[in-house]
Copies of this chain bind each other. A is one copy, B any other.
Amino acid sequence: MCATRCSGSLAVRYGTMRDNVINLQAVLPNGDIVKTGSRARKSAAGYDLARLIIGSEGTLGVITEVTLRLQKLPSHSVVAMCNFKTIKDAADVAIATMLSGIQVSRVELLDEVQIRAINMANGKNLPEVPTLMFEFIGTEAYALEQTLLVQKIAAEHHGSDFVFVEEPDAKTELWKIRKEALWAGFAMEPDHEAMITDVCVPLSRLAECISASKKLLDASPLTCLVIAHAGDGNFHTIILFDPSKEDQRKEAERLNHFMVHTALSMEGTCTGEHGVGTGKMKYLEKELGIESLRTMKRIKAALDPNNIMNPGKLIPPHVCI
């Protein structure tokens, strides 16, 4: 989680690992054990080594201890769901909700292929259309107030069948749809592998980016599911392909490549939450520029001169200092 600067559906409210680590301890390549901060909520004492290590994918050291910021469990929550004719409408509602200042705790977008997968895997009968799922938290009155405000926003963007539940079992049942989405996806093509990719764009560009990507995905012979942490402008695509067929692997790579380039052309990032590894290393230069990569390499060389920590990851091999 820390090493890849990870996040999930609640990041829209609480931030990513970057925001939730108060302090960490790491063992550096030279054997030094460093503590990066105190237990205070904020500090201006020295370089922010915690943030440098968070997202460094094991290339600067091994994280051995983490102090997390705790959050109070909300006294009440509401889970809601709404259907849309187009994925653009659904994305527009996520954008309008965020811009309205309503503090959702989750807003997740599932495309019609993803809903079809859930129907197939779990014997459900959900309308196979782009769908938004929300969670609202706070006091009972406030959670409900937010729900009704978003219901109104959804109606203004051709949303239909807006439902919401407040009873614990009903909430668990409804949220299960989202929770099981990934595994339901795999069930569509049990013998296939999944290429899971994600990009993240400025919120204002989400509808445009997701629409352009969907157009390509829908035209592909491969089965592709889209699931988005829409409030963060972040979306995942699960591309199912037969690993024994080279043309299918290439097609999956072509789709991934297109989505990344679309996101980068909209001032987005090639990875919102799962890191670079080796697969996305090739996009970093376009996203950040060679000067940025050279700076990373200088830091890497300064802390790990023998290149013993996760060598070959994150910084592309052609970067010279």
Residues of A participating in the B interface, judged by any CB pair closer than 8 Å: 4-7, 11, 15-16, 18-19, 28, 32-49, 51-52, 54-56, 60, 71-75, 99-101, 103, 138-139, 141-142, 145, 149, 200-203, 232-234, 263-264, 267-276, 280, 283-284, 287-289, 291-296, 298-299, 301-303, 314-315
| Chain A interface mostly | loop
Ordered by A's residue number, 23 sampled pairs between the chains whose C-beta atoms are within 8 Å are A11-B42, A35-B289, A35-B291, A36-B288, A36-B292, A38-B264, A40-B234, A40-B263, A40-B269, A41-B233, A43-B271, A44-B273, A44-B276, A46-B296, A47-B60, A52-B299, A71-B101, A72-B100, A72-B101, A75-B101, A139-B142, A142-B142, A299-B302
Instruction: Please state if A45 and B269 are interface contacts (CB–CB under 8 Å).
Output: yes
Least CB distance, A81 to chain B, in whole angstroms = 23
Chain B neighbourhood of A291, CB < 8 A:
28, 32-35
Q: A296 CA to B303 CA in the complex, in Å? A: 10
Chain B neighbourhood of A287, CB < 8 A:
38, 45
Least CB distance, A117 to chain B, in whole angstroms = 25
Known: A74-B101, A142-B141, A292-B34. A269 touches B51 (CB 8 A): no
* Chain B, residue nearest A48 (CB): B51
Q: A296 CA to B48 CA in the complex, in Å? A: 9
Least CB distance, A5 to chain B, in whole angstroms = 4
Most B CB atoms within 10 A — which of A49, A142, A271, A288? Answer: A288
Partner of A51 from B51, B75, B142, B145 at Cβ < 8 Å? B51
Q: Top 6 A-B pairs ranked by shortest CB distance?
A: A72-B101, A51-B51, A302-B302, A43-B269, A39-B267, A40-B200
Instruction: Please state if B203 and A41 are interface contacts (CB–CB under 8 Å).
Output: yes
